[in-house]
């Protein structure tokens, strides 16, 4: 794969809003790679920062092998620009690509990275016991355009353990800033009291006597609320404080963070598709959110909804 050219007049932005990149508002993720093999130090760092960023955690070639398995499927579906190297993942012009969980299904190469060997050993050591992962893999193929709005993951998967469930964000290829990588809001995991009303919500809970009930129950509408914390990452940072933290990710990196850590993604003004996966891990002894467990997890379908009279 080749590095995409930086667009002319490139401005780091999210949701179409240029970010304040001054040192007090924007910064680099702190690497915890030196702490590998020290479970107590890793736990302390997670508690302190709300995330662990492990540069070069995976064998780079293993990740690129998983990338090839994905882009070959994308090429077969004509999602990539004709005449380009599929490994570059140049988006076919005119397409709006965001989320393709099906590209993670029956994908042995991706499973080998996410659910075997080094990854599982890491979480066993981090939790100090046997672990389980969710059976659903969130796979993203983010084409040119705006990134993800600020949110916390707990509102999408909080029916099991809430404090011992971590997200693993894995770039499936290199993701320089202008291809729209993930960013975390510094210290946001320590604002649970301030964000309590938001963190206690569940996107799949709905009012059976509400105005959206019939649409949700018929499958016409996925949910009455999409789980986003804010639509403007600039004003959110000004409100909560801290800095937006990110980096130029490389194939082989791992970013893992808590359910209460606010995160979003940068806009992608390049011509490339940003490939990345979100997977979840927890102690096997803890209860798991049944929306994401099983051969065919119900997820956000009607089977996963919780209706109540409001």
Average pLDDT for the chain: 96
CB distance 255 to 29 below 8 Å: yes
Residue 278 CB coordination number (10 Å): 19
- What pLDDT score does 232 carry? 97
Query: Is 8 a residue whose pLDDT tops 90?
Result: no
Task: Look at residue 217 in the predicted model and tell me its pLDDT.
Answer: 92
Give the pLDDT score at 4.
86
Angle, nearest 10°, between helix axes 39-49 and 117-127? 80
pTM: 0.96
The CATH superfamily assigned to 20-187+244-285 is q2cbj1_9rhob like domain (2.60.120.620)
Domain ranges (residues) in the chain: 20-187+244-285
> How would residue 249 be classed by pLDDT, with cut points 50, 70 and 90?
very high
Share of the chain above pLDDT 70, in %: 100
> For residue 285, what pLDDT is reported?
97
Pairwise CA distance, residues 128 & 145, whole Å? 41
More confident residue, 184 or 7: 184
Residue appearing with tokens 């084409």: 143
**Average pLDDT, integer, range 142-153:** 96
| pLDDT for 252 | 98
**pLDDT of the residue at 1:** 85
Q: What pLDDT sits at residue 5?
A: 83
* Average pLDDT of the segment spanning 85-107: 95
Q: What is the pLDDT of residue 7?
A: 86
Structure confidence by residue, pLDDT tens digits, 259-305? 999 999 999 999 999 999 999 999 999 999 999 999 999 999 999 99
Average pLDDT over residues 55-82: 97
């Amino acid at each position: 794969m080749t590095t995409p050219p930086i667009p002319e007049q490139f401005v780091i932005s999210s949701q179409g809003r240029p970010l304040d990149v001054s040192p007090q508002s924007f910064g680099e993720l702190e690497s915890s790679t030196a702490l590998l093999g020290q479970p107590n130090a890793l736990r302390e760092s997670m508690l302190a920062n709300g995330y662990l960023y492990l540069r070069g955690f995976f064998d780079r070639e293993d990740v690129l092998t998983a990338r090839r398995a994905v882009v070959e499927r994308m090429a077969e579906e004509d999602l990539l620009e004709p005449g380009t190297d599929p490994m570059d993942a140049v988006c076919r012009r005119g397409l709006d690509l965001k989320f393709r969980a099906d590209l993670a299904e029956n994908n042995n190469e991706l499973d080998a990275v996410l659910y075997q060997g080094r990854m599982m050993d890491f979480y066993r050591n981090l939790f100090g016991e046997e672990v389980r992962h969710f059976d659903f893999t969130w796979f993203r193929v983010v084409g040119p355009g705006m990134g993800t709005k600020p949110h916390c993951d707990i509102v999408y998967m909080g029916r099991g353990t809430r404090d011992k469930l971590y997200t693993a964000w894995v770039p499936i290829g290199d993701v320089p800033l202008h291809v729209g990588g993930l960013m975390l809001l510094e210290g946001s995991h320590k604002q649970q009291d301030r964000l309590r009303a938001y963190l206690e919500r569940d996107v799949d809970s709905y009012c059976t006597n509400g105005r959206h009930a019939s649409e949700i129950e018929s499958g016409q509408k996925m949910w009455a609320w999409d789980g986003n914390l804010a639509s403007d990452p600039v004003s959110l940072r000004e409100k909560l404080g801290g800095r937006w933290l990110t980096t130029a990710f490389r194939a082989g990196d791992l970013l893992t963070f808590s359910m209460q850590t606010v995160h979003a993604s940068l806009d992608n003004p390049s011509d490339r598709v940003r490939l990345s996966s979100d997977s979840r891990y927890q102690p096997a002894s803890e209860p798991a959110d049944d929306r994401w467990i099983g051969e065919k997890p119900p997820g956000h379908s009607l089977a996963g909804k919780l209706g109540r009279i409001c």
